[in-house]
Every structure is written in structure tokens, then in C-alpha cells.
Amino acid sequence: MVLHLSPFPNGCVAGLHAVGWALILPCFWFLDRLIAVCKSTTLERVQRQERECYLHPLQVFFGSIIFFILFLVTSPVALLGFLLWAPLQAYRRPFSYHIETQIPLDQEARHIFEEGKATFGFATANLCLLPDSLARFNNLGHTQRRATTIGRCVAQGVSRPHIRIFIDSPSSCGNLSASSSLFHTSNSPGYGAIDKQSKPAVEGEVPQANPNSRLVHIPCDDTEKQDTETAPPTATTVNTNQNSNQQGEAGERSAPRVLRSEDPGERDGVPLEVSSLFPANVDILCLEEVFDKRAARKLKDALGPVLGHILYDVGVYAWQTPCCSSFKFFNSGLFLASRFPVLEAQYYCFPNSRGEDALAAKGLLCAKVLIGQNHKQEKVVGYFNCTHLHAPEGEGEIRCEQLTMVTVWIDEFQTSHRRPDEVVVFDVLCGDFNFDNCSPDDLREQNHNIFEEYIDPCRAGPGKEKPWVIGTLMEQPTMYEEDVSTPDNLQRTLETEELRRQYISPPVPVVGVPLVYPLPDEPWVGRRIDYILYRQNSLPKHYKTEIEEFTYITQLAGLTDHIPVGLRLRVSDWSAED
């Protein structure tokens, strides 16, 4: 599909759509507030207890009456707006496209394979940015404030310098990922944190990183004369004998943990990191459950200057036959941000949604991005696909059908947009699959043939995770407890299996069958429903893909009930070495 900045064919249709939505919005907002005033999050209940506030029942009583009256008063106007708004959806394209003009064109496609090698970073996160009233059923409130804070956090994380730490050691050499302990940051809790020992954080406040630190060299022997790779004059120097506890006492954000050679993740060939910041230099970011339009615009405004190319408000509304079988109140919730120009994009809607999931236009977003040129001056492109599958438990047959549709649609998209003068360097599929690889109830999805086409770095086989894997779905009632309420605390919790059991959702058993988990001599993982997969056979035979790093990200602690994940791939062209 040809990309246009506006989802509408002309300004007249866009104007009529804006008028229709303006008539609907007051009634929609009063209904949202009517439900929200009656539904509190656990954080709000704890805060009321600490303040000894006993006026909440009166606020609920009078607030619900006032909002209900205003809802009734604005309903006739909203009905007129709906009659204007709904038919116009047939003329609407399934996404809006934003280009940040401040980014020079000669810097957008900056990955040039002059030496036949390049790395690409990807990340995905489910944000639960529903209307405030619906988000509260997931124990999350204040959607607009969360969207602003999330946008700042992600922008701060992905725009920081990609620090590479080089270690001289007889037993361990090479480069490690960036350590946020090099940044002098405040350790104040973010949105949703409960910290009784420190003053409350300013909502939306984001720790600022030192932009000068880029390369750090750490010698590991005691010789006085060493061949060192020096850093720029402003680089931060790290003492390897400094205890990590001393760094924490100094008020600095603790470092991302990187598995060493003796850890299971290193033996599996997958370097693992638990990071309190989003990975530096993420190239493509996929977000799910960005259903709220205002929240999507806030994210677009925050991430546009950093990543440059944004696809948002993805999906269809109202009746869109034959692709969607029911009326759609919400879009797909998908949001894609890319450093690379988007050449082609296509949205596909799942026709088999059921229950509450049928109210949203969940589906698949496929994008083709321009990377640059290789050493042969050939155009280099990549394919990125993101999706959000059916949510309710016990309905695995629907998710299996959707996985089959995903594989068919991806192949259809790539076949129709592949050009003979282009070289593909990555083919990535990510999103919230709403099933895990350890629940007996998800056995059908675990054996789907999509895992024969795409590689899951965390998967040892059907129903079995690799020993270093961590679940990504948090228990909603305990989201604001001290152990998981801040990025640093959540980081430490994820590294301890006993603590993870308290805050990560356990596997889902088959109805009527007792759950035996974990099996003897196996670690406790929990539900990992957020995936980043990649495919090798889409690339030319002389291209090789290797995993440089897999990351669990705790920066959004208290802002969402999912743990974001990141993947960095290293792509090499063997023919360039000849």
C-alpha cells in the first residue's frame, strides 16, 4: 500500500470525520469518566489509606451521578456524530503515517554494508493504553499521563549512546552491552511507584543520561603496561574492583545484568541482559494496545524526533466487510516506530475474533523498510511484522487460526513487494501472542508450524523454555508493590527466581487437570507472551544472522503489566569477505 501522511483521501473527508468525532467525544469522555470514577487501582487504594482519606465514597456517589447526567445530555449529539462518523470509515486508510522532517535524509538510511556487516535492534512492548476506564480493569489508570511518561522513557532509552565495554581477560573477552551505571541518574521511583523511604517522584520525570559516554575499556590484569583502546576524552572510566553495592549506595541506577560465560544463556549462544533502560539505538519499535488516539499522538510526538518514521492509529473502525466480521469500536492497537524509511506497509484484520476481542480490529501490520546499500551498491531492505493475537484463555484454536493467517499474509506481502534489485537483511515478527511456552492450556499454539519458519531465541522446544528465560506477563494485583514498582527494583526481582514467582503470572493449567510446574530440575519461568522472532530463509544464502543480545527491559515498571523485550541481530555477508 502506498503510504500517505493522512489516512483520508482528501481534506474534505478528513474535515467531516473530525466534525463527526468532535460530536461523539464529549459523550464518550463522560462515559469513560463515569466508569473510571467507580473503578480504582490498587495504587489509588493504598494512597487513600496512607492519606486516611474517607471521602472517596462521596466522590464515587456524586461523581457517578454527575457524569451519568452529562452522558445522557450529550447522547443525542453523539448519535448525530456517529451517523456522520461511521460511514466515513469506508474511505479511511488503515493507518496514519508520520515522518519527522527534522531528520536529514542522508542520515535516515545510514546502515551501509561496506564491510558486509551490520547490527539491527528491535524492541516490543504491550502498553495497555486503553481508555482510562477500561485500563483500570487491568489495574492501570491515568492513560494520558502514562502515555506521556512512557514516551519520555522510551525516547530517553533508545536515544542514549550505545556504550560498548571492552574487557581484557584470559577467560572472557569481547564487548558487553551498555551499562546504565555509567550514567549518574537519580533513583527516584517513576509513575506508579510506592516508595515510603523517599519523597514521591514527579510524574513523568525521566533520569537524564550523560551523553558523552560512548566507549569504555576495562583492563582485567595487573600489568602496568597494557595495550588499551582509549575512549574519547569525555568517556567515563569504570573501576572493575568497584562493588555494585557501592554504586547503588551512591544513588546511581544499577547496571543492566549481562550473563557471563558460566551462565546458561551464554552456553546457549544468546547473551542475555536485564536492563533498567531501553536498549540504546533501537532501530524498530513495535507497541501493542495503543488503542487510545490521544495516547497514540503523545507517543508519536515523543518518539518522532528519535526514530523518525511512525505508523500509528493502525486498523479499521465500524463495519469493514469482508475483512472484519463485526463492528469495531477500537483499532488494532499496533504502533510502529522506525529509524528507517518505510517503503511499503499493509494491514490485515483478523476475521475470527470473538467476545470482547471482537470489539478491536486486531490483526497484522507488515512493513518494508529501506536500510541503505551494501558493498555492491545494491539496495538493502528489511521486513518487520507486528501483531496482537486473541487474548481470552482457553481459546487456543482461534490463536492457531490467526497464526496461520499471519504466516500466509507475511508471505503474501513479501511476495508482492519483493524486487529483484533488493537484498533482504532481516525478517522479524514480534508482538503480544497471548500464549506462552509453558502452560499446558497453550499446547496447541506451542506446536504451531510458525516456529518452524521463524526462530524464537527463548524457546528450547514445544512446551520447554531455555533455562535463562523470564516471563513477561506480570500479576496485576501486585504491580505496585515495592519489589517491582521501580525499574531498579523490578530489575533485581527478575534476577531472583523466588521473587519472580510472586510477581510473574504462572502457567495456565488445563481445566480439571492439576498443574505440575516446574518439572523437577527445571527453573520457574512463568508466562512469556511477548515474542520477537526472526527468519533466516528470507535472506540470501550468503547472509548469516546471529543474535548479539536479548534484553528484558524494566524501565516501564508501574506503567504497564507487561515486561518489554528487545533483540539485537548481527547480519553478515559472507561474500563480502571473499
Q: Which residues contact 90 (CB under 8 A, 6 or more apart)?
A: 318, 320
C-beta separation of 115 from 557 below 8 A: no
SS3 state at 562: strand
**Residue 218 pairs with which residues in a beta bridge?**
167
Grid coordinates representing 548?
548479539
Residue 341, amino acid = P
SS3 state at 572: strand
For residues 539 and 425, what is the distance between their CA atoms, to the nearest angstrom? 6
For residues 226 and 236, what is the distance between their CA atoms, to the nearest angstrom? 19
Grid coordinates representing 219?
583492563
**Residue 562 among the catalytic residues:** yes
Residue 389, amino acid = L
For residues 476 and 482, what is the distance between their CA atoms, to the nearest angstrom? 14
Grid coordinates representing 229?
583502546
For residues 220 and 240, what is the distance between their CA atoms, to the nearest angstrom? 8
Give the N- to C-terminal CA distance of the chain in Å, as an integer.
38
Grid coordinates representing 351?
476475521
- Indicate the burial class of 33 (C-beta count within 10 angstroms; 0-12, 13-18, 19 or more): buried
Q: How many residues does the chain have?
A: 578
For residues 298 and 348, what is the distance between their CA atoms, to the nearest angstrom? 25
Question: What is the H or E stretch that residue 571 is in?
Answer: strand 565-573
Out of 17, 142, 309, 562, which one is annotated catalytic? Answer: 562
* Main-chain phi, psi angles of 247, to 5 degrees: -65, -40
Q: Which residues contact 423 (CB under 8 A, 6 or more apart)?
A: 374, 378, 379, 380, 381, 540, 543
C-beta separation of 311 from 335 below 8 A: yes
For residues 154 and 556, what is the distance between their CA atoms, to the nearest angstrom? 9
**Residue 567 pairs with which residues in a beta bridge?**
122, 550
Hey, which residues are catalytic here? 562
